[in-house]
Amino acid sequence: MRRLSVLTALLVATAFLLGPVSPAVASKPAHYDFLKAQVFTAPGLGDIAVGMPNERVVKVQHRTPGGAWSAPTTLFRKKGVTCGRIDGRGSPGGVALLIECDSPYYDDQAPVHSRAFVTRDLLTWNVKWLKGEAYQDPAISADGSHAAWLYGGHGHYLLWSASSGFTQGQTSFDYDSGGETVVVDDAGTVTVMGPDGNGEGCELGVWDKPVVGQEDHYVIEDADVGCTEGGVDNVDDRTVVGDASYRPERFYVTREPGQRWSLTRVAPVDEPSLVRYTGSTRQVIRNVYSDATGQALISLGSPDRRHIYAQAYDDASGTWGAVTLAYTDRAARCRDRGYFGYEPFAQVHAVPLYCGGRRLLLTSGDSATWTATQIDDRPIAISKSGGLLAAAGPRSIIVATPTGTQVLDRTALGRCDFVFPIATDSVLRLHGGQGARWPTRLQKSEAGGRWTTIQTVAMPATGTCRHISSQQDMLPSTFFLRGDGQYVSLRVKRGGEGGWRVERFSY
């Protein structure tokens, strides 16, 4: 979570008009090396694409419904200011943006030179400098007549009105957790919602501030937002989602125009239809949750540590389905292996277990049928698309996809060997060979169980690799090798003699 502090200076306002952009010229947004273009949609009006070719320049494009993208033009550039993130919201009435900037910008610190942008026609922009820490998503009303941004961390907000421009406001919200959000409606009523640390149990507090009149403060019962780890995010002027990044604990708070906010969908972990496995971990496997892109959320658990049962969550109804048997182990009792760092980036479920002295991986590509495969302790690897997942075992390598799990009659047994999937029936491996201190040969699997070396990778001249790990929160998976004071970071990319290569990079 970013460092937060109290706002100490007043806002300095500026506004400008971005003239009409060039004629439509492209079928997709421009490619930017520094920050990929993000697209924000204003239904009925069109789309805005905003990205950065470098840390000092923000570019913008637009397209009308059914049209092509305009040529990029400069949305923001200021000497001495660098930027690193773009947040936005669209509505049928327009688009609001927050460009996170500082002098200079650091990703792990709250920026203090961020800019607020709003447009109702996707061509004409108004902008204001948020002179204070600002990094939460902005808000825009359904008709685009109002937009709002949080800054300062203690209930301060910037309100834009189509009739009166920018004004400053403040609610009595005063709990600096970083988990708050802002919403604004067509009447200009601003809602600040977030963990209310001044109450009992860190409830979800709401502060509704109309343009004229008294603030309305209340607590939403049964919404478990936590004190410092949880938070809420705006979706639109009628919907706020809690713990949006962690699907098992995601809940929804909604309202009708002119009404108070209320909890309308509890988190899956609190849904009464969930079968819960409780008791001593010596006797049961308590509920663990598996998430995967495009798949149902899954709960797995066991009443006896031998029979692993699964339940799938139905997003349409907000309830859990029937309990099904996913795996049975008659030889040994099982236990789960905790946090799955590759969720929800893969398109397949992959749940690791310990059963006796064996490490197993339960995989499913349809959230219904499960395959159990023995693996070892080397990292699981995921392709750039998330559609291929590979893991090495003592006598085989598996490749899991949304269509099923393939078991390849191959091995990768070196201490720091890793495998990487490139097709449903093919993998790469970085291999050291007998007596090698570091793996240096990138090999591609071929028909008939053969390996073909397609690259020799430069490795440290001293020391011995003793451990390998991976990072999967950005695809494709990246790998980290270390031993005797030496560290090597590797990633797999397309190109090279065999169509693939491994490159070292600084982490």
| pLDDT tens per residue across span 373-414 | 999 988 999 999 999 999 999 889 999 999 999 988 878 778
DSSP 407-444: EES----STT-EEEEEETTEEEEEE--TT-SS--EEEE
Quick one: 309 and 414 in the same domain? yes
Quick one: 258 and 111 in the same domain? no
Q: Which of 221, 216, 209, 153 is nearest to 185 (CA)?
A: 209
Give the model's pLDDT for residue 297.
Answer: 96
Quick one: 126 and 185 in the same domain? no
Instruction: Let me know: does 272 contact 218? Beta carbons within 8 Å.
Output: no
Query: What is the C-alpha to C-alpha distance for residues 106 and 113, in angstroms, rounded to an integer?
Result: 12
Residue finishing a domain among 454, 472, 496: 454
Does residue 404 sit within a domain? yes
Give the model's pLDDT for residue 303.
Answer: 97
Give the model's pLDDT for residue 198.
Answer: 58
Give the model's pLDDT for residue 24.
Answer: 42
Give the model's pLDDT for residue 11.
Answer: 30
Quick one: 291 and 251 in the same domain? no
Quick one: 225 and 370 in the same domain? no
Query: What is the C-alpha to C-alpha distance for residues 70 and 28, in angstroms, rounded to an integer?
Result: 9
Count other C-beta atoms under 10 Å from residue 20's C-beta: 12
Give the up-direction half-sphere exposure of residue 364: CA atoms within 13 A in the CB hemisphere: 25
Query: What is the C-alpha to C-alpha distance for residues 266 and 270, in angstroms, rounded to an integer?
Result: 6
The C-alpha torsion from 23 through 25 and 29 to 35, rounded to 10°, is -70
Instruction: Let me know: does 77 contact 57? Beta carbons within 8 Å.
Output: yes
Give the up-direction half-sphere exposure of residue 403: CA atoms within 13 A in the CB hemisphere: 4
Could you tell me the residue range of the domain that residue 62 belongs to?
Answer: 12-135
Give the model's pLDDT for residue 29.
Answer: 96
Does residue 260 sit within a domain? yes
Does residue 408 sit within a domain? yes
Quick one: 195 and 94 in the same domain? no
Structure-token match 């910037």, residue found: 158
pTM assigned to the model? 0.84
Neighbour-count burial for 369-396, b at 16+ CB within 10 Å, e otherwise: ebbbbbbeebbbbbbeebbbbbbbbeeb
Quick one: 290 and 391 in the same domain? yes
Q: Which residues of the chain, if any, have pLDDT below 50?
A: 1-24
Does residue 273 sit within a domain? no
Quick one: 299 and 435 in the same domain? yes
Cis omega before residue 476 (within 30°)? yes
Number of domain units in the chain:
3
For residue 298, give every residue at least 6 positions away whose Cβ sits within 8 Å of its Cβ, in sequence order, or none.
Answer: 289, 290, 291, 310, 311, 312, 313, 349, 351, 364, 367
Quick one: 429 and 291 in the same domain? yes
Q: Which of 315, 292, 288, 312 is nearest to 300 (CA)?
A: 288
Give the model's pLDDT for residue 22.
Answer: 41
Quick one: 305 and 420 in the same domain? yes
How remote is the C-alpha of 242 from its chain's centroid?
Answer: 14
Query: What is the C-alpha to C-alpha distance for residues 492 and 495, in angstroms, rounded to an integer?
Result: 9
pLDDT tens digit sequence for 463-506: 999 999 998 878 899 999 999 999 999 999 999 888 999 999 88
Give the model's pLDDT for residue 243.
Answer: 81
Give the up-direction half-sphere exposure of residue 464: CA atoms within 13 A in the CB hemisphere: 6
Quick one: 336 and 432 in the same domain? yes
Does residue 152 sit within a domain? no
Q: For residue 31, with 0-12 CB atoms within 10 Å meaning exposed, 13-18 middle and 19 or more buried, which class applies?
A: exposed
Does residue 32 sit within a domain? yes
Does residue 248 sit within a domain? yes
Instruction: Let me know: does 241 contact 251? Beta carbons within 8 Å.
Output: yes
Does residue 486 sit within a domain? no
> In the 8-state DSSP scheme, what is residue 245?
T
Q: For residue 108, with 0-12 CB atoms within 10 Å meaning exposed, 13-18 middle and 19 or more buried, which class applies?
A: exposed
Quick one: 296 and 397 in the same domain? yes
Residue finishing a domain among 135, 163, 182: 135
**Structure tokens, 296:** 């149902």
